[in-house]
Amino acid sequence: MKSSATAQEVARLAQVSQSAVSRTFTPGASVSEQTRAKVLSAAAALGYRPNAMARSLITRQSRIVALVMSYLENQFYPLVIQDLSQKLQKQGYHVLMFISDLDEADEVMAEILQYQVDGIVLASTMLSPSLANSCAASGIPIVQFNRVADTSAKARYGTNAVTSDNRRGGALVAELLLARGFERIAFIAGLERSSTSLERESGFAGALAKAGTQVYRRAVGHYSFDGAKAATRTLFSGTGEPPDALFVANDHMAIAAMDVLRNELQLRVPEDVSVVGFDDVPQAAWGAYQLTTVVQSVERMVNATVELLHGQMLGNAPPRYVVVPCELVLRKSVRPPADPPDTARA
Amino acid sequence: MKSSATAQEVARLAQVSQSAVSRTFTPGASVSEQTRAKVLSAAAALGYRPNAMARSLITRQSRIVALVMSYLENQFYPLVIQDLSQKLQKQGYHVLMFISDLDEADEVMAEILQYQVDGIVLASTMLSPSLANSCAASGIPIVQFNRVADTSAKARYGTNAVTSDNRRGGALVAELLLARGFERIAFIAGLERSSTSLERESGFAGALAKAGTQVYRRAVGHYSFDGAKAATRTLFSGTGEPPDALFVANDHMAIAAMDVLRNELQLRVPEDVSVVGFDDVPQAAWGAYQLTTVVQSVERMVNATVELLHGQMLGNAPPRYVVVPCELVLRKSVRPPADPPDTARA
DNA sequence: TTGAAAGCGATACCAC
DNA sequence: GTGGTATCGCTTTCAA
């Protein structure tokens, strides 16, 4: 049989009305313990499960959240998928994945709307103004995750967003590097027009300026591994002293940079060049490197997102622009201490 | 307005029947060019999109495929999500993500069935026999991806699966290492009961046996980064000669192993120890290492999966057990040649 | 080609 | 607490 049993059939077997069946599967409905038992046993016998499609047709709630992402190369994003979908599952929601090639987000949006999703999470994807409108019109809560389309102050009213405190994070990096006495501090940007890269750089450059100095050299890595490798080669080639410190707009690129520094340029990290990243990627990503990074906690960001979505989907909570704090953390390398443990010697 | 326009409203505005609207949005239906135009313009005016829920209620097709995964730490899986969802999108399907903690797959299954999904892809998750039955009963095609629950020959009839030729892959590794003259070849297993680890090891050990030798040392890494690190420390500690070659059941663990070898044990890879992995992870994962690996192409596996699903969802194609070939590949390290390029010198 | 009407499987609002 | 009935938005016969 292609389809499972219907409420109708369960009702017949249990000798009750279809309404009784429905109520049994509706938390907090008023059913006597007796009929409830009858229904449950009949349902078990037939392998009955309420049809979510039919249900959402009438309740106008699909309990589906669309997650739009453009690329998963950056290890930060798989973490987001995992955490977000697990947390939503716990709240009874499910994640419908959409991979969009950055600019075709509009096309994807049309498909999303067909599924009557209860909410949309846009990660690493920008929404065209026209689409933003069509979403607002449809009344589906939409949360921008990590990256926002418009950083202007007014955009903070009327749109939902969860980002980390990128400016502050950038400033923290500058303060750290200055305190450690570095003098030739370079920067590798991500996508030039992305809010994450812009804000991190602005906080960074601002703090340097406040200290009476500025970025020594700058290149663009486009948030890609290869882009960051090329950028690193550029920064450390040419005439003049090479940088003694490097701030990279995210960890994914920072790892690429460290690969080039250590393996192509024969520089030691952090002895010859101090590298600082941003984001939060699993250890499998930075592996053997010592990486100082501004951590924006996936967990806190996802929590904020779920809370935001939940509030908007149920009540009529006003849109919010949540900025999660971030902090500088030293990811320890697995490089052994001066005196390696005995077990390491055969 | 909470919901978008309905076919009813479009029909009224276009002065046609609701049926006409439906037919306009049904590819290959018979509508005159004239009414079609009227409907389309009315639909555009109202921002109408057919309601996928209502549609699937009657067509008994949700065009949703469930993807069940247990953990995304291994970089191989994000690639699968990306490729699979993109390819399914192109065929008009969408991916509903489920993260299951390995054993709670049964629980997740109940939720999946509520959504009337057209198909299920189980990756890195094993299905309990009882669930397997309940799926078979519901008639929803289900494809096991990469890992299978039962490797017995009879299981190959009646279940869909896509795996790579793990046995052959394991044998290839053994042949390579033997040909290169290594004498103390160690192995790090994944999850002991997983088909991937079992088959890779069996092919590997079989080929060694055929050459009159055997695995020098063996440890278990449980497919986790930390597990593999611990396993590596174990293999290279203790009395006796350390291994001179190491086959690791997947790339994710192989990278952890190389971290330990190079950074804790001060061994050079591949000069002191030759490391061979399995799977296919992006360069961002192996980064600066030189890694020989048995590549099981994500692309080929996903293609096979989509094809399999598609066949089962539409026609009544018989279940198939697809084994994708794999090949040994040397992932080149970015370590420079003996004479580094000029640009690398400031 | 077109429109009217009958469902798909469930929930919600009624009276009882 | 319970059962009947309208309804959600659409596809699908079936006549016209």
For residue B286, pLDDT beyond 60: yes
What's the half-sphere exposure (Cβ side, CA atoms, 13 Å) at B159? 25
What distances in angstroms separate CA B54 from CA A58, A292, B246, one per listed residue?
10, 52, 56
For residue A342, pLDDT beyond 60: no
- Whether A260 has its CB under 8 Å from any CB of chain B: the answer is yes
**Subunit contact B3:A60, Cβ cutoff 8 A:** yes
Q: Is B31 within 8 Å of B24 (Cβ atoms)?
A: yes
Q: What angle do CA B103, A49, A109 make, to 5 degrees?
A: 85
Q: In strand C, which positions have an atom below 7 A from any protein CB?
A: 1-5, 7-13
Q: How far is the CA of A52 from the C1' of D11 (A)?
A: 18
Check residue A36 and report its DSSP letter: H
Query: Rounded to two decimals, what is the model's pTM?
Result: 0.92
- Among the listed ranges A215-229, A316-330, A331-345, which one has the minimum average pLDDT value? A331-345
Contacts of A82 (CB under 8 A, 6+ apart): B71, B72, B99
Size of interface A-B (CB pairs under 8 A): 219
Which residues of A, range 98-117, sit inside 8 Å of B by Cβ?
98-99, 108, 110-111, 113-116
**Subunit contact A60:B2, Cβ cutoff 8 A:** yes
Check residue B128 and report its DSSP letter: -
Report pLDDT for A153: 64
Q: Tokens for B99? A: 């993260």
Report pLDDT for A2: 44
Contacts of B187 (CB under 8 A, 6+ apart): B201, B204, B205, B215, B217, B218, B219, B246, B247, B248, B249
How much is the average pLDDT of A186-190? 98
For residue B345, pLDDT beyond 50: no
Count CB-CB contacts under 10 A for residue B230: 18
Q: Which helix (H) or strand (E) holds A123?
A: strand A119-123
Q: Which residue is nearest to nucleotide D9 (CA to C1')?
A: B54
For residue B91, pLDDT beyond 60: yes
**Subunit contact A225:B283, Cβ cutoff 8 A:** yes
Average pLDDT over all residues of chain B? 89
What's the half-sphere exposure (Cβ side, CA atoms, 13 Å) at A20? 21
Tell me the pLDDT tens digit for each residue of B9-34: 999 999 999 999 999 999 888 899 99
Report pLDDT for B344: 33
Amino acid (1-letter code) at residue A53: M
- Whether B244 has its CB under 8 Å from any CB of chain A: the answer is no
Strand order in the sheet with B119-123: A321-324, A160-164, A142-145, A119-123, A64-69, A94-99, B94-99, B64-69, B119-123, B142-145, B160-164, B321-324
Q: Is A190 within 8 Å of A157 (Cβ atoms)?
A: no
Q: Is A291 within 8 Å of A305 (Cβ atoms)?
A: no
How much is the average pLDDT of A88-95? 95
* Backbone φ and ψ of A157, nearest 5°: -105, 130
For residue B2, pLDDT beyond 80: no
Report pLDDT for B342: 39
Greater model confidence, B129 or A225: A225
For residue A345, pLDDT beyond 60: no
* Rounded distance between C-alpha atoms, residue A252 and residue A228, angstroms: 9
What's the half-sphere exposure (Cβ side, CA atoms, 13 Å) at B81? 35
How much is the average pLDDT of B199-224? 97
Name the residue among A282, A224, A226 with its Cα closest to residue A102: A224
Beta strands A64-69 and A119-123, pairing class: parallel
Average pLDDT over all residues of chain A? 89
Name the residue among B211, B165, B119, B327 with its Cα closest to residue A2: B119
Distance of CA A6 to the CA centre of its chain: 39
Q: Is B70 within 8 Å of B55 (Cβ atoms)?
A: no
Report pLDDT for B346: 29
Name the residue among A231, A144, A230, A232 with its Cα closest to residue A194: A144
How much is the average pLDDT of A224-236? 97
Tell me the pLDDT tens digit for each residue of A255-301: 999 999 988 999 998 899 999 999 999 888 888 787 889 989 999 99
Q: Is A117 within 8 Å of A64 (Cβ atoms)?
A: yes
For residue B105, pLDDT beyond 90: no
Tell me the pLDDT tens digit for each residue of B146-171: 998 877 766 666 789 999 999 999 99
Tell me the pLDDT tens digit for each residue of B27-63: 888 899 999 999 999 999 999 999 999 999 999 999 9
In chain B, the largest separation of any two C-alpha atoms, in whole Å, equals 88
Report pLDDT for A102: 66
* Rounded distance between C-alpha atoms, residue B161 and residue B152, angstroms: 13
Name the residue among A126, A72, A116, A74 with its Cα closest to residue A96: A116
